[in-house]
Structure 1
Amino acid sequence: MKSIFSILLLFCFGLTYSQTSISGTVLDDSGLPIPGANVIVVGTSSGTVTDFDGKFNLTTDSEPPFTIQISSVGFATSNQEVTANNQSFDVVLEEGTALDEVVISASRTPERVFESPVTVERFGLKEIKSTASADFYGGLEDLKGVDVNTNSLTFKSVNTRGFATFANTRFMQLVDGMDNSTPALNFPIGNLVGMIETDVLSVELLPGASSALYGANAFNGILFMRSKNPFDFEGISGYIKKGITDQEAAGENAYTDLGIRLAHKFTDKFAAKVNFGYLKGTDWAATSEVDKIDPSRTRSNTNYDGINVYGDEVSTNIRSASGLGIIPDVVVSRTGYNEETLTNYNAESIKADWGLYFRPIDGNSLELSYVGKVGTGSTIYQGTNRYNINGFFQQQHKLEVRNDNFFVRAYEVSDKAGDSYDMVFTGININRAWKSDEDWFGDYIATYAGIELSGNPQGLTDQQKHDAARAAADTGRYLPGSPEFKNAFNQSINNPDLSQGSKFQDASKYIHSDANYNFGHLIDVAEIQVGGSFRRYNLNSGGTIYTDGDSPIDYSEFGVYTQVQKDLELNESLKLKLTASGRYDKSELFDGFFSPRLSGGLTVNKNHNIRASVQTGFRNPTTQDLFIGLDAGRAILVGSAKENLDRYVRTFNVSTEGQTLGQPATVTQTGAVAYNNSYSQQSVRDFANSGNPADLEIANPDLIKPEQVTSVEIGYRGKLNKVIVDFSTYYNAYKDFISQNVVISPYYGTVGDNSSSVQAIANGDFQAYSTYTNSDANVNSYGASLGLSTKVFKNFDLSGSYTFTKLDFDQEANPDFQTNFNTPEHKFKASFGNTELFKNFGFNVSYRFSDDYFWEATFGNGVVPEFHVVDAQINYNIPSLKTTLKAGGTNLTGKEYFTAFGTGFIGSMYYVGLTINNL
């Protein structure tokens, strides 16, 4: 506590009480006002934006002389020298390029995109207005190098540079500095409980490792979303969009999205805002009946396991179960239910946030604020299984103190699972509510044996015998829509015990605090920043996700960092910008880790910038990696924190063959067996085919530790005649790569004993566990992105980008290890539009191509075919009403596609919208 108090004192002593007020008007070269232009005090985070009339007022604690930087998308940046208090400016911005835009995320300080030391993508007010997507979050799909995987209509996962899953714990999403990841799931769930469109000021995206400034989860990239401050953006604004979604499986369904923002500056010292958003639609239905293990198998196969069919995960070897030689040595699965019978595909999002902002000192940039956010909604989430996230609730509360040179903030994020449930276990337990697994397989075996013992007088083929056995075992099965089915369904989704139900139960939270101080106003030699963060987790799933059945699980982590940035004027045509950053992070569960970053940017003749950087990143194991304890059907997930292993306890029935060998009827195992008494999954498959015990290989994976990456990046930004070029290439080398590894633990015997454990495997007396560990294999990736943009036919915007991404990993040498790279090797994106085709009328058309790629995840593995998507929109402005009318459509070709194995096919969407009073 003394250390924290000392740091707070340092920040407080950094306050200055000088006051400088400036004002002005920003116009374009035709004399029209530019609303929404950024006005920033150079070297600080202090700034404002122009109103609808292009006017601005800014009060700062910087003492003259200092420089303000005025920028707006599509215009060249202008720097103005402030030499006195109450100075007024009339600024004319000339037409410019995207390189003139100002970003904050790359170095935690304002700087032009052109001079950023690392790759950065920006999505501002202009892009939000012109995107053809139905909402701004979907518009991120058009950014260079960005992958957006569609989990469902309201849940899209953003990723860069490979290793994508919907449970994307390698990518961070910050909203006004607050981590938007859910405490229970440990990753952001898209914009389900995020921002509404009229409150978005800017979106910035940093691809690649950024741990040096942003800590453990900033491993693969960060998405920054900034909202509008009510001191700078007053008034009432809102939007409404109506349309339809069109999918072959779900048909045509209504779509509604609306939002309203109310902001008011009551005095020069106090301002407040409130936002509300509502979205309602029908999700993309997932109806695939392809077998997830072997696509060549049909539903008539004895061990069928359909992708979107649930309940058929329960299976057994019927010869081992019966002990009868006349029964074939095959695995049989129970009959499952299609996903569409287990969910209503309701897609809904209701969110609200509010903020109180206080500037206590006249003429000083010191600001105190409280922000609260709540959100609830329904969506589909695909992780280990498919989940109906119904009534999920998340809230955030933040207190922050900041001025031009520092910020100190603390916030809490908590969630409640609502009425969410696991659709896979819903199918499993509806079956069990009707007939136990033992009785069902008993009926199946008895029918098959009866045919054999009767001499098969009807001359049935083997397939017909199995069909008859299944029909007999399924006699009386609950049919979808029947009262019995509905009753069993409701009982399952309201019971968190996965042996009987499927309810997803959680009320976890974390508290986080971080601070930053910029000494740039005190030191002329270089710009120096210091900062730090602290987080404490409280996991509380009642034993349904984590091994927290007895009490919640608490643990914490912290980090401190510094950055030094220096501009060097080598001569009139050469300018060098050097940046050095370093961060130390420590989790109470692991040793500390230091992650440095070195970068340099050389500007040549003001139009060309060459950048290079070397940085290291790290990723702490997630809460699920550490403390999960969940039977997912095909495997039991056991986190590998040392104290977690013996908290997961399960009793299993031993086969008849095992009992004849003197084994007990039941055995009890803890999760520790996955890590200290297991065979590799592939070797068990090999043994099943060969019967040779020598094929069995001991797995016994090591307990998990943090993952590391070293990233080298080289890039170029510049203007070649009329073409804007942005190129980057990178190479990532991973160490201790974290992934899940499925292993097989025998019920009896010790692996490698060549006796009891081998017999257990042969008798089917074993359990599959999904472990969390690190690979000692070399995992590397590399890639490059090229973006080009220009003006054609005088004022038409034309842009395109190509991204290449490649995994460097020997899968054959590591058959049980999944990297979950899940990224196309080739992506191409293009857009063509005009914001002023004729007076107040604009349009935009965008195109996306994705190469085919192999998707692997705990839910299932499969090929994602290549796809081509065309989106378009037209818009009309009514300046007198400060209103924009917009009509658009996505996936206009109508060719349905998907971005991940197991999800619903993405159809088309058509919408019309009206936005009022939004800059």
Structure 2
Amino acid sequence: MMMQKPLPLSLFAIVIFFFSPLLAFAQPATLTGTVKDASTGEALIGASVLVQGTRFGASVKANGTFEISGIAAGTYKVIARYVGYQPQILEVTLSEGGTAQLDFKLRESVRVIDEVVVTASKGRAEKKLDAPVTIETADIQAMRQSASPSPLGAVAKLKGIDFVERGINTVDITSRGLNTQFNTRMLTLIDGRLATLPGLGLPQFMLAPNPASDLAAVEIVVGPAAALYGPNAHAGVVNMLTKNPFDYAGVDLTVRGGTQSLYDINLRYADYAGNFGWKITGQWMDANQFESGNIFMFVPPAYIGQNQTLLNPETPTGLRISRATLDNFFDLGYAYRETEVSAMRAGLRKLDGGLYYRTDDVNLRFMAGFSSSTGFVGSNFGVLEANDYQIQYQSLQGNGAFGKLGWFFQVTRTANDAGKSFQLHDRAEWFAREAIRLRSLPGGATLTRDQLLAQVRRDFIDSASATIDQSQLWDSELQLRYDIEGFELVGGFQYRFYNPKGSYLSNNPNLVLANVSNFLSIDITATEIGGYLQVDRRFFDNKLRVTLAARLDDHTYYDPQFSPKLSLGYEIVENQNLRAGFNRAFKVPVILENHLFLFNGAARGNVGGYTVRDGAPDAQGNPTGNIVAVYNPLRPEEVNTFEFGYKGLFERKLFIDFVAYYSRYTNFISPAFQISDGVRTFAYDNRTNRRVGVLEDAQGRPLFPGIAGQLTTYFNYGAAVITGFDLGASYYFTDDLLLEGSISYMTLSNAENPFEAQGIPLLLNAPNWKFKGTVTLRNQLAPGTFLVLHARHIPSYTFRAGRWNGVLNDRTVVDLTVGYEWKDVGVTIQGSVNNLLDNQTPDVLGSPIMRRFFSVQASYAIGSFLNR
């Protein structure tokens, strides 16, 4: 066999000479650097560094440095981000096979005037200062440093917002009045998808599967926003934004403990490899619930004219019943304190995750989550205790661009199961029924209260008072964006399908349905279809911004609704803008307002209308007497609003935000009111001309005890005007010292109330004035320290909704948070006091009184494991 000769050295040198340019071209570049706090020089461990327009990125290591390799030569923009800091973008040119260094110095984001928002123009990023609507924001730092048990407590500081704590872990967010125990005038979203309970129609807020540690920001559009967001964006939009794994990679562990035996653990892990990212987040929270002082009574109907009465110290009922009468009710087993019918616990169990894929042109993400919650939820008829109330969702979303054409889509399924939930007043009624049964037995008349409670059939009570809710919602949207010759166009199509099933609805699966005279509807599904288009154009060297938008929505039960919008924004000088606009919005009655069915029909939705007469039904349930009032079927509520606003920044220190509004409401939907008492007045179903308040069989015979003719329901008022203003100011003494304050005022006038003669008032159900102030200090007590002191004052006002009727006294709440950040090790420790002055007025009638609350929180964060 012939041996091959080695390649001559001269030939090898020639090959290397000719191919060396190609070998050099194949050598990638490397980027190194540091990310530090601009004020203290501390390394920001875990900060993310991304090369824009590529898949390359890294997290800052424990020594404060980062390294990104494998980048092709060229000029790039590189962005560094860290929670609570303003992002910084630097430009770098990388040579073939070379190494370049960038040193980032980030400033803490106390200056919210530099914020960028996405909710104002439905997905388009823009500076908050330039937004064509009034928009309020709470960022990660604000939520983490909130003294409230809920991270959404940060929203309480925001201008123009009505914030209600209904317990340790449940909140409510509204604006611009006409509040009830059941607020549905603000559309609630999470990452742009609908986040309401499919059957109840209430916002999910803290019951949602998304744990607290995965929240990146909350953006709230204050005022009508139906032209882009559709029905029920009537008073605004609350959009909770979550963290993606590319910008927020790493591990985040937060542990919180406090009074009321609170412990709250959040754990989040997120990372990415090339184009793929993922995250998984969990939360476990338990606490003892605060008490409200509610007493729930049940007595035979003939005694006081109704079979259930709520008794609260602030209500007229509480003033009307004497102490002796109440003590007698307790002895007989007719009255029960909330602590006797509820375990008074609050809890959250949450698991949420997502898979992400991104390129330069496409972003895709699949997200899913599950939550099980225990806590109090508002009800116009009492208090609903969510007990193992389960919510799950699955969502597929995507966005990107084909050339100049931008696109976005999402499809989401949401389902809920009420678990072991119940209404406290229902449970009290079944306790009382058991007491009546026991007293009818031999020797029962002498039983003491304690003996009664020991002998009641608790398993039977649990079953009889259980709330069933197994509802589903499908929500989808397709949106397109296109810029052409100075016009910015955005248009889209939305489809929603509601499939409710609940024991509080007229398709109650526990009832043997009789006939239509009982107002029991089998199919109560509903569909909403809508399309929208918005056009933005700037004139006069971009000083004048004109925004036109319109939307058309069609609903199963109602005629199409047209929602136009016009906004004019003018930049007087740099960073000072005037804005004027008009919006029309609709609130479509939610499933519950149409199909409610409680108390054997004494509380009903209004899908067919009712007539109230002064004559009792005859023996067959037919009407007698004269007509007192006619209540037509519910129609969508309409509001037409004119706004004028000003935003100004002076010397990057003083920021002023002012908005005044004039809103004319027509056909606005009432809270649940009793329109007939079954004693002097009697209600009849307009579709059948039959009595209500009693469930009948096919022969018209009562199935269960009831009060013939008694009815509590929803209806449309005539018209009213709400005018008001919100004025906010922020002053930045330094980058580390911020003072914020706001004043809000609104009033209801020119009311046209066709039911005033029946004793049904038209109320604002919100305070006329709100006063808020916040001081934020960073690095003032010592480097790394922070202090947030917030105070808000809510003057007294009258509140009436359903069975809640009374006056809320003045409420002043002071919150304090003090903490320290070890940025070089990723550890933060803070202590907080919520309601420092221990004010004992509830946020709303019937809700727990949030007494002084202490908590301590520690968090530990490290950066990406795969991109160091």
Q: Give the equivalent residue in structure 2 for 1:221.
A: 236
Deviations 1:456-488 (A, max 9, x none): xxxxxxxxxxxxxxxx9993467257564542x
Q: Amino acid of the residue matched to residue 776 of structure 2?
A: G
C-alpha displacement of 1:430:
2.2
Counterpart code for 1:744: S
Report the counterpart of residue 323 of structure 2 in structure 1: none
Please give the TM-score of this superposition, normalised by the length of structure 2. Answer: 0.78
Structure-2 change in CA distance of 1:256 and 1:750 (3 Å) = closer
* Equivalent residue number for residue 377 of structure 1: 373
Asked if residue 260 in structure 1 is aligned to residue 201 in structure 2, the reply is no
Aligned length: 762
| Pair 1:336 & 2:267 matched | no
Distance 1:849 1:543, change over 3 A: closer
Measure the CA separation in 2 of the matches of 1:39 and 1:819: 56
- Distance across 1 between alignment mates of 2:822 and 2:660: 43
Which residue of the partner structure matches residue 103 of structure 1?
Answer: 117
* Distance of 1:809 and 1:41 partners within structure 2: 58
Equivalent position SS for 2:425: helix
Query: Following superposition of structure 1 onto structure 2, how do residues 401-412 of structure 1 map, counting pairs within 5 Å?
Result: 401-403=398-400, 405-412=406-413
Match of 1:600 among 544, 562, 568: 568
* One-letter amino acid of the structure 2 residue matched with residue 160 of structure 1: S
**Residues of 1 paired with 2:199 and 2:290: CA distance?**
24
Q: Aligned pair in 2 of structure 1 residues 364, 202: CA closer, same or farther (>3 Å)?
A: same
Distance 1:781 1:279, change over 3 A: same
Equivalent residue number for residue 710 of structure 1? 640
Cα displacement (A) at 1:730: 1.0
Task: Determine the structure 2 residue equivalent to 1:320.
Answer: none
- How do 1:127-142 residues align onto structure 2 when only pairs under 5 Å count? 127-142=142-157
Residue in 2 that maps onto 1:504: 467
In structure 2, what is the equivalent of residue 182 of structure 1? 197
Q: Deviations over 1:510-564 (max 9, x none)?
A: 11111211113xx242111111110111121257664565655322111011111
Any residues of structure 2 matched to 1:646-685 within 5 Å, and which?
664=619, 667-668=620-621
Q: Which among 652, 656, 660 is matched to residue 729 of structure 1?
A: 660
Given the alignment of the two structures, is residue 418 of structure 1 paired with residue 419 of structure 2, yes or no? yes
* Alignment partner of 1:528 out of 489, 498, 523: 489
Aligned equivalent of 2:279: 273
* Kept after mapping to 1: 8 A contact 2:308/2:429: no
Deviations 1:635-687 (CA, angstroms, capped at 9, x unpaired): 72222324x999xxxxxxxxxx989xxx53xx457xxxxxxx69xxxxxxxxx
What letter is aligned with 2:266? G
How far, CA to CA, are the matches of 1:637 and 1:525 in structure 2?
A: 55
**Which amino acid is 1:525 matched to?**
G
- Separation in structure 2 between the aligned mates of residue 65 and residue 580 of structure 1, nearest angstrom: 39
For 2:711, the equivalent position in structure 1 comes to 769
Matched AA of 1:426: R
- 2:701 alignment counterpart: none
- Kept after mapping to 2: 8 A contact 1:639/1:645: no
Match for 2:479: what amino acid? Answer: N
Answering whether residue 785 of structure 2 is matched by residue 841 of structure 1, we say yes
Distance 2:210 2:411 in 1: 19
Deviations 1:854-877 (A, max 9, x none): 111113111010111111111111
Deviations 1:486-519 (A, max 9, x none): 42x4312212xxxxxx211111111111121111
CA distance 1:734–1:39, change in 2 (3 Å): farther
Identity rate, percent: 23
Measure how far apart 1:48 and its partner are: 10
Could you tell me which residue of structure 2 aligns to residue 479 of structure 1?
Answer: 449
Q: 1:558 to 1:346 in 2, by over 3 A?
A: same
Q: Does 1:636 align with 2:602?
A: yes
1:587 alignment partner, one of 525, 549, 555: 555
Q: C-alpha displacement at 1:400, in angstroms?
A: 1.6
Distance 1:94-1:103 versus aligned 2 partners, 3 A rule: same
Q: CA deviation at 1:770?
A: 2.1
The residue number in structure 2 matching 1:738 is: 669
Moved more, 427-436 or 594-603: 427-436
Q: Say if 2:831 is the partner of 1:831.
A: no
Task: Check if 1:787 corresponds to 2:728.
Answer: yes
Are the aligned partners of 1:71 and 1:100 in contact in 2 as well (CA < 8 Å)? no
**Inter-CA distance 97–732: structure 2 relative to 1 (3 Å threshold):** same
Say if 1:207 and 1:422 are closer, same or farther in 2 by CA, change over 3 A.
same
With the length of structure 1 as denominator, give the TM-score of the two structures: 0.74
When residues 658 and 845 of structure 1 are mapped into structure 2, their CA distance, relative to the original with a 3 A threshold, is closer
Cα 1:583/1:806, change in 2 over 3 Å: same
RMSD, aligned CA: 4.4
Look up the match of 2:748. Answer: 807
Q: Deviations over 1:681-738 (max 9, x none)?
A: xxxxxxxxxxxx9xx7521211111111111111111123532111111111111111
- State how far apart, in whole Å, the 2-side matches of 1:302 and 1:745 are: 8
CA contact (8 A) 2:199 2:500 kept: yes
Which residue of structure 1 aligns with residue 533 of structure 2? 562
The one-letter code matched in structure 1 to 2:432 is N
Q: Distance in 2 between matches of 1:915 and 1:750?
A: 58
Deviation at 1:154, TM superposition (A): 1.4
CA–CA separation in structure 2 for the residues paired with 1:420 and 1:723: 49
Question: Counterpart of 2:224 in structure 1: which amino acid?
Answer: A
8 Å contact kept, 1:703–1:772:
no
- Does the 8 Å contact 2:546/2:569 carry over to 1? yes
SS in 1 for 2:460: helix
Which of 452, 460, 478 in structure 2 is aligned with 1:491? 460
Q: Identify which of 887, 897, 905 aligns with 2:831.
A: 887
Structure 1 stretch displaced more, 808-817 or 556-565: 808-817
Unmatched 5+ residue regions in structure 2?
A: 1-29, 318-331, 514-521, 694-705, 864-868
Q: Distance in 2 between matches of 1:75 and 1:348?
A: 32
Deviations 1:341-373, CA, capped at 9 Å, x for gaps: 1111011111111111123xxx42412221111
Contact 1:38–1:47, Cα closer than 8 Å, also in 2? no
Deviation of 1:374 after TM superposition, in Å, equals 0.6
How has the CA–CA distance of structure 1 residues 624 and 74 changed in structure 2, closer, same or farther, with 3 Å as cutoff?
closer
Provide the C-alpha distance between the structure 1 equivalents of 2:57 and 2:800, rounded to a whole number of angstroms: 46
Deviation sequence 1:858-912 (CA, Å, 0-9, x none): 1311101011111111111112320100111111112322111122222011011
Deviations 1:190-243 (A, max 9, x none): 302343232111111111111111111211121111111112222111100011
3-state SS of 2:641 partner:
strand
Please state if 1:287 is matched with 2:293: yes
Q: How does 1:83-122 map to 2 (within 5 A)?
A: 97-108=111-122, 109-122=124-137
Distance 2:764 2:68 in 1: 48
